[in-house]
Amino acid sequence: MERIERKSKDKKNDLKSIVEVADEITTTELKFTTNRASNNPNELINTKQANCVGYSAMFNSITNYLIRKNELQNEIEAEHKIGQLELFGINLHQYFESPFFRDHDFNEITDKKTGNKISIDPSVSDYLWINRISKK
């Protein structure tokens, strides 16, 4: 909580700022692993190792904390989603036999007033520096 409070202290209470804070904390605190790892944000803060499930769980936890703290539940919704990774229209999961690559976790943040949605993938953000993704 201290990290969240410190990083969000001088930020606006809007969707863009909340996403930036959650992404920054998540990618700073976690390091990607293909090994088994917790998906509990309370444990991840100590273990520092996560796969896409853990990254999305932590990002979603931070985002929802900031939404509630700033009483924005009627304006912003954050959801942890599961999908497939594609690059240039090619499903990347077909190239892996491991059940680890069966699917992929990401987050979707909705501006309830406009209906606009932001899809963000904190693990891809950390690993490839691409934080906004497209959702089919």
- Residue 18 is encoded by which pair of tokens? 């909340």
Q: Which residues pair with 42 in a beta bridge?
A: none
**pLDDT of 77 above 90:** yes
Among 1.25.40.10, 3.40.718.10, 3.10.620.30, 3.40.50.1820, what is the CATH number of 2-133?
3.10.620.30
Neighbouring residues of 19: CB distance < 8 A, sequence distance ≥ 6:
63, 109, 118, 120
95 band by pLDDT with thresholds 50, 70 and 90: low
Bridge-based pairing state of the strands 31-32 and 104-111:
unpaired
- The reported pLDDT for the residue numbered 4 is 87
Note the pLDDT of residue 100. Answer: 45
Domain ranges of the chain: 2-133
Question: Which token pair is 80?
Answer: 């942890």
Q: Dump pLDDT digits (tens) for 18-37.
A: 999 999 999 999 998 888 88
Q: Is 73 exposed, middle or buried (0-12, 13-18, 19+ CB in 10 A)?
A: exposed
